[in-house]
Chain A
Amino acid sequence: MDGSNAEVRTRSGFPSTWKISALWLVPVLFLSVFFFLPLAEITNRSGILTQGVILDHVTWGLLTKSLSFTITQATVSTALTLCIGIPGAYLLSHFRFMGRELLKAMLIVPFILPTVVVATCFNALLGPRGLINDWLMTIYNLQTPPIALLNTFWAIILGHVFYNTSIIILVMSEAWSKLNPNYQDSARILGANRLQTAFKVTLPLLAPSLLSSGLLVFIFDFTSFGVVLLLGGPLYATLEVEIYIQAIHMLNFPAATLLSLIQISMTLVMSVIYARISRGQTLELTPHFKAGRSLADAPVLQKCLGLGILTLLFLIFFSPLIALVIRSLTSYHNFASEGGSFGSGITLAYYAELLVNRRDDLFYVPPYSAIINSILFALITVAIALPLGILVVRALKMPQRINRILEPMLMLPLGTSAVTLGLGLVLTFNSTSFYQASFPLLLPIAHALVGLPLVIRVIQPVNESIPQNLIDSAYSLGADWWRVFRDVELPLLKKSVSVAAIFAFSVSLGEFGATTFLNRPEFPTIPIAIFRFLNQPGQINYGQAMAMSTILMILSILSILLIQITSYQGREGK
């Protein structure tokens, strides 16, 4: 290894230490200023360093209440997600059935669907003005919506189950597909019945995947912000939401920063544990299942159970998305009393309304400008995250001691919640006033920080697979480092860079946590606009929230399609 390094050093003409330092310079500087400085500012403001931990009974109450709620909801969410995900994984990895490919393709959707869209989806389905309530009111001639799920504990759980079931299914179905059936058959032959085989052989063999996917879901539920804020309503606050409330509504920075520190340390510990137990496991976004048996030929009991689970999965994955689209296109007389009704039936009025700048509107600009802002911010995010990501990936490829120190540092933003990130950035760079951020680039910078780990994880494996011989021979043919990068490495990385760019783009489009802190009223993004629409009374605002969400959902699904098409072509090329 050292010998070949020495060769690389001489051929590339640069001393390796110099080169690696140059590569690291920009990313490290960027992270120091926009991540570690805000982190230091949070620590500073919390007063931990000067006064130690001050926990007056108000802060203590906030902490225990939000922490216990966070853990409770995360536990219940994870348990329920496992209950639905494991049978789903079993079905997908063992059976053939109609719609399997569709379900498989849908598994990736929740990964990239913004939290705001998930919230509006469930609002459109089960909210007081939602599809189901409207039907029930029409059928039974009711005056008030019969289902009051929104702003309850179970609305949060439902949102989380929608979000995370696909993680369990992806990980577990992959593990199940790879499990050698001879293990189970051997157990049967040695005298174990089905139940004994399940507990003594199958379960222990699947345990690592079960543990790691369960923990990942728990971490996601633990750090969830948008779903809790938008579906849980004012009564429920997780740590994350409490940080937001204390900082934005109460301007109680000591409490907010203290909660942030606790949040960071807890997620960090969980992330380290996750990294440990998930070592060697990969999360395949497009799993390859074996052919499987036909569900139609299965025994009756199995068939009924399977169909039940399938119905549930399709309901969970599709009905909220469909409800959103329907709700954005229809007006209901049940809510005519709220004023601003466009009559009953199919209408494009909500979409049209997005183009109008009303005097009493939430914005000084027509709402559609949020779409333009979001796309602009997303493009800037890509422009920041992509070069940083490529620099980091190139630096990581050189086997130097410095990488071992810097690599974990890079993954730190992943463990940090977006809310904490937003809070830190605001506290650091916005000394004058909270709502007049004097630094408009802060928003895409925060988005880039959120997206950077993803960009790195997409490009790195491809970059690692470029043989060093190829680069060496380019140097030996007389190319300088820039020509080698431009003419050899970049073309080979093209596919993965495009995928990373789309990921960064869609992360920015849907980012909500940090945006709530950094957004400026005259430059709303799509999620912020949806959030504000939802918080205003009246059917027009509700309809506009639905219309805006539908647009965001379509943008997100388009990026998923783009990613899949791009990676598919990449695979074909190989």
Chain B
Amino acid sequence: MRDISNKMSGLGVERLTKYYNHIILLNHISFEVRDQEVLCLLGPSGSGKSTLLRIIAGLESFESGLISWHGNNLDSIPTEKRKFGLMFQDYALFPHLNVFDNVAFGLRMQGLPKEKIIHKVSQALARVNMSDFVKRKVQTLSGGEQQRIALARTLAPDPKLIMLDEPLGALDRKLREQLCGEIRQILRSNAVPAIYVTHDQEEAFSIADRILIISEGKIQQIGTPQELFLTPASSWVARFLGLGNVIQGEISSLQPLTIHTILGNIECTDQAVLAKPQKGIELLIRPNSVKLVSGKSAGFNGLVLDSVFQGERYETTVRVQDKLFKFDLPTSCTPGTSIQLTVKQEGVTLFTSSMDQESIKAGNKRNSKPKYQK
């Protein structure tokens, strides 16, 4: 991973708020994109990711907030003067132009001389391995080929910021995996900041330097993939990222901090949650944070429903009081048998109930909330 921590911030978004038909679509969104950084916007569909890109590109108005580039307000700069690149999910290749003219469109708008345009187009096409397609009509291209041409068209005019809106969304799984790698290569070698929108967390984890999780118009968490994985800001984020089993609990004793759950009483070291005592508490129990025990001292009993061999571990589905859990166990268990398990302390993350402002703030604090350059 490149060192991006000390880089200047390129794009700044501050307290951006956008309504659509009187419904709040983006609610005080603040973040920055640092130089050379690939930032992923990750969120369920309908969470306002695409609208955010359109606002940054200057294609959409917004109610309040500030968008800046190296500290300069972009409000009065029209789309065509921002010199950002945006690749749409449907690629939007001009159907009346061939591959060459599509890629050359942005260069022509810059008024470059003809030889320069030819040179830059072939350069851009070479980067996406599409050099042989210069004269092709765009309607004759397959989905993957269209995707590459759209990428070449976005890269050719050397934009200051590249925005990709679900670039792999329209492709089948195999092609996605292949192109995901290629896009990562291209974005890394490009040394230009990029915003990559996706709803697929695997895609986000493999491409991003930092990930911004957005849902219902609010930022749920922002951080590196590692930070997100290790310290999810809320139970919602933990669920969304599929980090493990999330269960309800209640504080049964404060010294030592003990939470009562259907998996028995779990002792915790994380005192942060006590800053504001909550009645309802949620716990993330990661798949690998239980161990098989015998004897009747501690732990809980579960009924094994399924046990799947996964190399070094067995993914085991266990039913405890009508709830299903997935645990990674070192040994195989016969479905139908009852096992006794206990929760390891270090594998538990506590959340105050639901994804309210408190838990999000706590999450941001943990992930060293970035300071905005003004």
Contacts and interface: CB of A to CB of B under 8 A. Distances in A.
A193 B84 CA distance: 14
A71 B291 CA distance: 91
Interface in A183-218: 183, 185-193, 196, 200-201, 204-205
Contacts of A185: 54, 57, 59, 79, 86, 88, 92
A191 B83 contact: yes
A182 interface: yes
A36 to B, nearest CB: 42
A189 B96 CA distance: 18
B106 A190 contact: yes
Contact of A190 (B54, B58, B109): B109
Nearest to B21: A291
B277 interface: no
Contacts of B280: none
Interface in B317-345: none
A205 B96 CA distance: 7
Contacts of B83: 191
A182 B105 contact: no
Nearest to A200: B105
A33 B95 CA distance: 48
B80 A204 contact: no
Contacts of B78: 188, 193
A44 interface: no
A204 B94 CA distance: 10
Contacts of B80: 188-193
A180 interface: yes
A200 B101 CA distance: 11
Contact of A186 (B58, B81, B88, B96): B88
Contacts of B157: 190-191
Q: Which 7 A-B pairs have the closest CB atoms?
A: A191-B109, A190-B106, A182-B92, A188-B79, A204-B96, A186-B92, A182-B88
B267 to A, nearest CB: 55
B86 A191 contact: no
Interface in A424-451: none
A156 B157 CA distance: 53
Contacts, number: 61
5 contacts: A183-B95, A185-B88, A190-B85, A191-B80, A200-B105
B79 A189 contact: yes
Contacts of B110: 191
Interface string A151-184: 0000000000000000000000000000010110
Nearest to B60: A185
Contact of A189 (B84, B90, B95): B84
A200 B110 CA distance: 14
Interface of A: 180, 182-183, 185-193, 196, 200-201, 204-205
A172 to B, nearest CB: 17
Given A185-B88, A193-B80, A204-B96, 14 more contacts: A180-B90, A182-B92, A183-B92, A185-B54, A186-B88, A186-B153, A187-B94, A188-B78, A189-B59, A189-B85, A190-B80, A190-B85, A191-B83, A191-B157
A186 B109 contact: no
B95 A205 contact: yes
A72 B289 CA distance: 86
Interface residues of B, number: 24
B59 A188 contact: yes
Query: In this complex, which of A188, A201, A205 has the most chain B Cβ atoms within 10 angstroms of its Cβ?
Result: A188
A283 B255 CA distance: 78
Interface in B104-125: 105-106, 109-110
Interface of B: 54, 57-59, 78-81, 83-86, 88, 90, 92, 94-96, 105-106, 109-110, 153, 157
Nearest to A196: B109
B109 A192 contact: yes
Query: In this complex, which of B59, B79, B85 has the most chain A Cβ atoms within 10 angstroms of its Cβ?
Result: B79
A260 B78 CA distance: 58
Query: In this complex, which of B54, B81, B92 has the most chain A Cβ atoms within 10 angstroms of its Cβ?
Result: B92
Given A180-B92, A205-B95, A205-B96, A187 B86 contact: no
Nearest to B111: A191
Contacts of B85: 189-190
Contacts of B105: 187, 190, 192, 200
Contacts of B109: 190-192, 196
A189 B57 contact: yes
Contacts of A183: 92, 94-95
Main secondary structure of the interface of A (DSSP, over half): helix
Nearest to A189: B86
A170 to B, nearest CB: 23
A185 B165 CA distance: 13
Nearest to B165: A182
Nearest to B109: A191
Nearest to A203: B96
Nearest to A291: B21
Nearest to B90: A182
Contacts of B54: 185
A196 B153 CA distance: 17
Contacts of A189: 57, 59, 79-80, 84-86
A68 to B, nearest CB: 36
A192 B90 CA distance: 20
A30 to B, nearest CB: 43
A193 B80 CA distance: 6
Query: In this complex, which of B54, B96, B110, B153 has the most chain A Cβ atoms within 10 angstroms of its Cβ?
Result: B96
B315 to A, nearest CB: 42
A493 B287 CA distance: 62
A201 B90 CA distance: 17
Contacts of B84: 189
A201 B88 contact: no
Contacts of A200: 105
A515 to B, nearest CB: 46
A44 to B, nearest CB: 49
Nearest to A192: B109
A391 to B, nearest CB: 39
Contacts of B94: 183, 186-187, 201, 205
Nearest to A185: B59
A182 B110 CA distance: 20
Nearest to A180: B92
A192 B153 CA distance: 14
Contacts of A193: 78, 80
A205 B94 CA distance: 9
Contacts of A190: 80, 85, 105-106, 109, 153, 157
B96 to A, nearest CB: 4
A182 B90 CA distance: 8
Contacts of B58: 188
Nearest to A207: B96
A294 to B, nearest CB: 10
A194 to B, nearest CB: 8
A193 B58 CA distance: 12
A189 B105 CA distance: 10
Contacts of A186: 86, 88, 92, 94, 153
A518 to B, nearest CB: 48
Contacts of B92: 180, 182-183, 185-186
A183 B85 CA distance: 14
A183 B92 CA distance: 5
A40 to B, nearest CB: 45
Contacts of A188: 57-59, 78-80
A193 B96 CA distance: 19
Contacts of A187: 94, 105
Nearest to A186: B92
A193 B79 CA distance: 8
A63 to B, nearest CB: 41
Given A185-B59, A204-B96, A205-B96, A191 B106 contact: yes
Nearest to B57: A189
A182 to B, nearest CB: 4
